[in-house]
Amino acid sequence: MPNAFLGLGSNLGEREYYLAEARRQLAAHPLIEIIRSSSRYETEPVGYLDQGLFLNQVLEIATALRPRELLLVTQGIENGLGRKRLIHWGPRVIDLDILLYGDSVLDTPELTLPHPRMYERRFVLAPLGEIAAEFVHPDGMTTREHLDALRQRGNTEKIRLFRG
């Protein structure tokens, strides 16, 4: 089964509950196995700034689902937990993003792999680096190299390990 990496985020309501419930539902799927989970990080919003702090985490999974099928599963979990898409990059109870799917490169209206903005976001690369620093991305760079490149570009995004 190919390995994929998922980004989880929440900034409404019981953030810890929503991340835990998303993990529970993913683990309960017969074609998904959670391999590793990063720590949880509290992060400032990006894009739309008038909202609360996010709780973010990255999971490594093994799955027999193809990328489009995995997208349907993640969207189903989001919808089941009450995700509303009212403001682009706005507040949400849960966000599940497919960051990487093996070495797949995909660009469709529904799904782009690797995730199109992951290399600009420390809140994605830091937890990904915690569990997969040496993972080689489709562009030939490791997660560690992408995180170093982000630092060199002067990214000032504030994140902190969540101890809640």
Q: Which residues are catalytic?
A: 83, 92, 95, 97
| 58 contacts 38 by C-beta, under 8 angstroms | yes
The 3-class secondary structure across 68-107, one letter per residue, is HHHHHHHHHHHHHCCCCCCCCCCCCCCEEEEEEECCCCEE
C-alpha 161/C-alpha 164 separation (Å) is 9
C-alpha 73/C-alpha 157 separation (Å) is 30
Dump strand ranges (E) for 3-111: 3-10, 32-37, 41-43, 54-63, 95-101, 106-107
- Our measurement of the distance from residue 108's CA atom to the centroid of its chain's CA atoms, rounded to an integer in Å, reads 19
Using alpha carbons, list the distances in angstroms from residue 107 to 15, 62, 95, 111: 31, 22, 20, 6
Q: What is the DSSP letter of 119?
A: G
